Structure 1
Amino acid sequence: METNMPRTVLITGTSSGYGKAIAEMFLAQGWNVLATMRRPDPGVFPMKTDRLRVLPLDVTDPGSIGSAIAEGVQTFGAIDVLVNNAGIGLASAFEATPDAVVRQLFETNTFGALATCRAIIPQMRRQGSGVIINVTSSVTIGPMPLVAAYAASKSAVEGFTESLSYELRPFGITARLVEPGYAPTTNFTTNGGARMKGLIPVEYAGFAAACFAKMAAYPTAYCSEAEVAQAVLAAATEEGRVLRYLAGADTKMLAELRWSSSEATYVSKMGEMFDPLWPVEA
């Protein structure tokens, strides 16, 4: 294969936020981009270029996944990188979270990511190369209160991706994780907050209000769309055996705390950061 030919990336969930920024980053780097979303809106990407295709893809619909991959291969000849970015958020008291809501989280965040991986692997295996990047969350490193269901849906993808990375290495395929922090400027937080309605019962209301206030006041910088896009580009292009790419000062702070501290110290510091009732040690 000629090394000067543009490579092709397929990205899920590109209508806004991280996904849109990721698509724009790859376009700026000269890649062919398959920007997918459930309801395609060409207005999301006003630039005119033959290197961009905006396609429908619903990660909960296997037929939709297959059609997008087939069209991408037909258009650009091959897909070199898959970025599983589509996802939904939720803050809730788990006790009050119905099974239907939990299953909706897993259908998109977990099973949707698994389905797109399963669909793209045969094409990458035949060409003897490829990179799969699953975008998860900093909650897989440091889970805060009131995101138990969401953290579970993303943590499942972490275990899946690490196992998959060893499974696919003999075929020349790399699987990696990008772990973004909290990005208050994206629609992700707004949409997750809308789903929270009715899921914080009165028994949890005081705790939740104090918890969110404590998190908002914590003295750390948060994550930006540009940082996530840069991390995804690095994961797509760097050689070596790195599995996790961290995005955002908050993610890096949590990783340092988790991986460089004892279990007791980690739990104590997490409590101080997120739990309004946590006893502060003298």
Structure 2
Amino acid sequence: MKTVLITGASTGFGLKTAERFLAEGWDVVATMRDRSASTLPASDRLRVLRLDVTDPGSISASIAEAGTVDVLVNNAGIGWLNAVEGTPMEMMRHIFETNTFAVVAMMQAVLPAMRERRSGVIVNVSSSVTLKPLPLLSIYSASKAAVNALTQSAALELAEFGIRVAAVLPGAAPSTSFGQSARAKIAANGGFPEAYADFTQRTLAGMQEAAGGPVTTPEEVADAVFRAATDPACPTILAAGADAVTLFEGR
């Protein structure tokens, strides 16, 4: 039986991805910062572990407890919505630490064993905002664009060892906690710059209006992640959701 380790599995994409792999008969290691936040149903094929992807000690402990990891799904991440000028450098570092550097750290943690076995798959969850520039998402987009580039280059260097690497790019997903958590972080970090007040109001109104259009569901992301993990013919960059697919095909 194969084992998948999923980061950020308490809600949204990570939760549905864990449920999908369980439904397919996999052993699942669902990781999250707070184990009590798990809503996954009890199963003898499920282990819920505490993992802070920005803490090297936490990563080492989780990987050791997980044992053999056949598939790593790097899903954990944080949202941010603000202008470049309104983003404190400390927050920018935190975003990249969580969305980008943590992906590298998790990859480095599982790669020695995968390389020794000459098998394994790593799936990095990115975002469709890397396909279409959007205002107020510049820092978040940059952190995810780095994940795309990392994925594509790593796929080339790891193919020799029988390891596949792919990135899944979800489209707009208002049903997830992204917007809520992003707004909370903005409020805690000084809000939007006053000079951008009118622009921000127009932009947020436009985003609200667009939310009534095509969206990506967590189930669609879970399907894409499962395909990336199990289909050797899967492309290195895989869009999830009709809106993301449209962007990807229109590049």
TM-score tier by shorter-chain length is over 0.9
1:24 to 14, 19, 24: 19
1:42 Cα deviation from its structure 2 partner: 6.7
Q: Which residue of 2 aligns with 1:61?
A: 55
Read off the aligned partner of 1:60 and give its amino acid letter.
Answer: T
Q: Which residue of 1 aligns with 2:84?
A: 94
In structure 2, C-alpha distance between the alignment counterparts of 1:130 and 1:179, rounded to whole Å: 20
In structure 2, C-alpha distance between the alignment counterparts of 1:17 and 1:248, rounded to whole Å: 14
Q: Within the alignment, does 1:155 sit opposite 2:145 as a pair?
A: yes
In structure 2, C-alpha distance between the alignment counterparts of 1:114 and 1:41, rounded to whole Å: 26
In structure 2, C-alpha distance between the alignment counterparts of 1:232 and 1:125, rounded to whole Å: 21
Read off the aligned partner of 1:233 and give its amino acid letter.
Answer: F
Contact 2:228 2:234 in 1 (8 A): no
After superposition, residues 116-155 of structure 1 pair within 5 angstroms as: 116-155=106-145
Q: Which residue of 2 aligns with 1:213?
A: 205
Q: Aligned-pair RMSD on alpha carbons?
A: 1.3
Percentage of identical aligned residues:
48
2:246 to 253, 258, 264: 253
In structure 1, C-alpha distance between the alignment counterparts of 2:135 and 2:42, rounded to whole Å: 44
Q: Within the alignment, does 1:33 sit opposite 2:17 as a pair?
A: no
In structure 2, C-alpha distance between the alignment counterparts of 1:220 and 1:167, rounded to whole Å: 39
Read off the aligned partner of 2:10 and give its amino acid letter.
Answer: S
Contact 1:60 1:107 in 2 (8 A): yes
1:43 Cα deviation from its structure 2 partner: 4.5
After superposition, residues 106-117 of structure 1 pair within 5 angstroms as: 106-117=96-107
In structure 2, C-alpha distance between the alignment counterparts of 1:221 and 1:241, rounded to whole Å: 24
In structure 1, C-alpha distance between the alignment counterparts of 2:234 and 2:216, rounded to whole Å: 24
Residue ranges of structure 1 left out of the alignment (5+ in a row): 1-5, 260-282
Q: Which residue of 2 aligns with 1:167?
A: 157
1:238 to 208, 218, 231: 231
Give the structure with higher Rg (CA). 1
TM-score (normalizing by structure 2): 0.95
1:201 Cα deviation from its structure 2 partner: 1.5
Contact 1:15 1:41 in 2 (8 A): no
1:199 Cα deviation from its structure 2 partner: 3.4
Deviations 1:34-89 (A, max 9, x none): 000012127521x222110000111111111111111111xxxx211000000000
Q: Within the alignment, does 1:44 sit opposite 2:39 as a pair?
A: yes
In structure 2, C-alpha distance between the alignment counterparts of 1:191 and 1:182, rounded to whole Å: 15
In structure 1, C-alpha distance between the alignment counterparts of 2:66 and 2:48, rounded to whole Å: 10
Q: Within the alignment, does 1:194 sit opposite 2:184 as a pair?
A: yes
TM-score (normalizing by structure 1): 0.85
Deviations 1:193-219 (A, max 9, x none): 211223312211111111122233236
Read off the aligned partner of 1:96 and give its amino acid letter.
Answer: G
The answer to which of 217-226 and 201-210 deviates more is 217-226
In structure 2, C-alpha distance between the alignment counterparts of 1:91 and 1:111, rounded to whole Å: 20
1:72 to 66, 80, 91: 66
Residue ranges of structure 2 left out of the alignment (5+ in a row): none
SS in 2 for 1:134: strand
Contact 1:97 1:199 in 2 (8 A): no
In structure 1, C-alpha distance between the alignment counterparts of 2:124 and 2:42, rounded to whole Å: 28
Deviations 1:213-249 (A, max 9, x none): 2233236311110000000000000022610111122
The answer to which of 242-251 and 9-18 deviates more is 242-251
